[in-house]
């Protein structure tokens, strides 16, 4: 579609677009937000620069997409609990969100979108990769699509605490965590989900959360899942975003995965995150 109120520049061939011509600190009229929402659906992840929103302003902008919710394992800001503060200190080696994943797919109703703002960024490094899960599904062979049709994946929060994958609880800057609850936070969702707004199918398994295919053992599931994990992150499905203070992004958690690149040891990074309530995948 054409855009009359905002400027939309695709960041890569597969996914992502930068948006200019809008100040998110100001109230957005319906026509402007409709175009932002259309760009979100078309490009799966949208990026803004120079916004510098307060926590309340970020929450209120996120609320235009849906109802902000509370992350189950990290306490939000005291005066704005829907916003969590994610900090990686110079001495820490684990990063929140490293590894390809969709946010919190171990919940019965995973968030439909995530709104992330950069508060403090390293001098170099700290980019985020995004991948198009529509393309990940659509480029599978017809035989693989037929095999996946109707399969259900088991997703667990506990994987993040095991086998060197600890990216949530491994660093001291995250407060209010509930590690024991992660062991019992499990949800089963379709391996291939249908987007409720676009009607397109998207691959919905990821290496950080998916433990096995339902009604299969882990050993039986592993060859299928390992292939899908590798396939989902193929370079031609991706874009790479470089943060600077005041950068803000909203991604569609129903059809995109992301991967926070952990390449800035010895530097500090501070982000504010809001997740937006979603429906049960189907």
Strand order in the sheet with 152-156: 186-190, 152-156, 210-213
First and final CA of the chain: distance in angstroms? Answer: 28
Catalytic residue among 43, 59, 103, 269: 103
User: What is residue 173's predicted lDDT score, i.e. its pLDDT?
Assistant: 40
Catalytic residue among 43, 59, 85, 101: 101
When the pLDDT of each residue in the chain is averaged and rounded to a whole number, the result is: 92
User: What is residue 74's predicted lDDT score, i.e. its pLDDT?
Assistant: 86
Note the maximum CA span of the chain.
Answer: 53
Residue 103 is among the residues annotated as catalytic for this protein = yes
Show Cβ contacts of residue 196 under 8 Å, excluding neighbours closer than 6 positions: 254, 279, 282
Q: Tell me the C-alpha distance between 190 and 196, whole Å.
A: 14
Q: How far is CA 110 from CA 54, 139, 176, in A?
A: 25, 25, 20
User: What is residue 32's predicted lDDT score, i.e. its pLDDT?
Assistant: 97
Residue 101 is among the residues annotated as catalytic for this protein = yes
Delineate the domains of the chain, giving CATH numbers in brackets.
Answer: 7-276 (3.60.130.10)
Catalytic residue among 254, 258, 269, 272: 258
Catalytic residue among 59, 168, 193, 273: 273
User: What is residue 182's predicted lDDT score, i.e. its pLDDT?
Assistant: 54
Neighbouring C-alpha atoms within 13 Å toward the C-beta of 199? 0
Q: What is the pLDDT of residues 136-182, one digit of tens each?
A: 999 999 999 999 999 999 999 986 544 434 444 444 344 444 555 55
In sequence order, what E strands does the chain have?
Answer: 7-10, 17-20, 45-48, 68-69, 84-88, 113-120, 128-132, 152-156, 186-190, 192-194, 201-203, 210-213, 238-241, 248-252, 256-260, 269-276
Residue with tokens 């968030």: 111
Q: What is the pLDDT of residues 221-279, one digit of tens each?
A: 999 999 999 999 999 999 999 999 999 999 999 999 999 999 999 999 999 999 999 99
Residue 195 is among the residues annotated as catalytic for this protein = no
Q: Tell me the C-alpha distance between 173 and 186, whole Å.
A: 25
Q: How far is CA 26 from CA 47, 174, 249, in A?
A: 17, 30, 17
Other beta carbons within 10 Å of 184: 9
Position with higher pLDDT, 184 vs 129: 129
Tokens of 66: 């849906």
User: What is residue 181's predicted lDDT score, i.e. its pLDDT?
Assistant: 57
Task: Return the sign of the alpha-carbon dihedral for residues 67, 68, 73, 78.
Answer: negative
């Amino acid at each position: 579609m054409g855009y009359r109120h905002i400027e939309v520049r695709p960041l890569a061939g597969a996914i992502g677009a930068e948006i200019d011509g809008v100040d998110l600190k100001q109230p957005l009229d319906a026509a402007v937000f409709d175009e932002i929402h259309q760009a979100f659906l078309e490009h799966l992840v949208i990026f803004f620069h120079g916004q510098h929103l307060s926590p309340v302003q970020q929450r209120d902008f996120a609320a235009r997409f849906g109802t902000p919710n509370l992350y189950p394992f990290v306490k939000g800001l005291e005066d704005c609990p829907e916003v969590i503060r994610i900090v990686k200190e110079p001495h820490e080696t684990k990063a929140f969100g490293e590894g390809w994943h969709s946010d919190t797919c171990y919940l019965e109703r995973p968030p439909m979108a995530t709104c992330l703002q950069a508060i403090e960024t390293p001098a170099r490094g700290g980019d985020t990769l995004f991948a198009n899960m529509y393309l990940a599904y659509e480029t599978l062979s017809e035989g693989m699509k037929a095999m996946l049709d109707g399969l259900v994946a088991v997703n667990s929060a506990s994987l993040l605490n095991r086998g060197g994958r600890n990216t949530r609880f491994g660093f001291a800057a995250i407060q209010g965590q509930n590690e024991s609850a992660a062991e019992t936070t499990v949800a089963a969702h379709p391996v291939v989900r249908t987007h409720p707004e676009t009607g397109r199918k998207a691959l919905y398994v990821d290496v950080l959360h998916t433990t096995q295919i339902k009604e299969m053992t882990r050993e039986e599931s592993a060859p299928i899942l390992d292939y899908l994990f590798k396939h989902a992150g193929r370079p031609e499905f991706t874009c790479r975003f470089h943060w600077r203070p005041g950068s803000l992004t909203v991604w569609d958690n129903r059809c995109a995965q992301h991967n926070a690149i952990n390449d800035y040891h010895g530097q500090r990074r501070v982000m504010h995150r809001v997740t937006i309530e979603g429906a049960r995948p189907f």
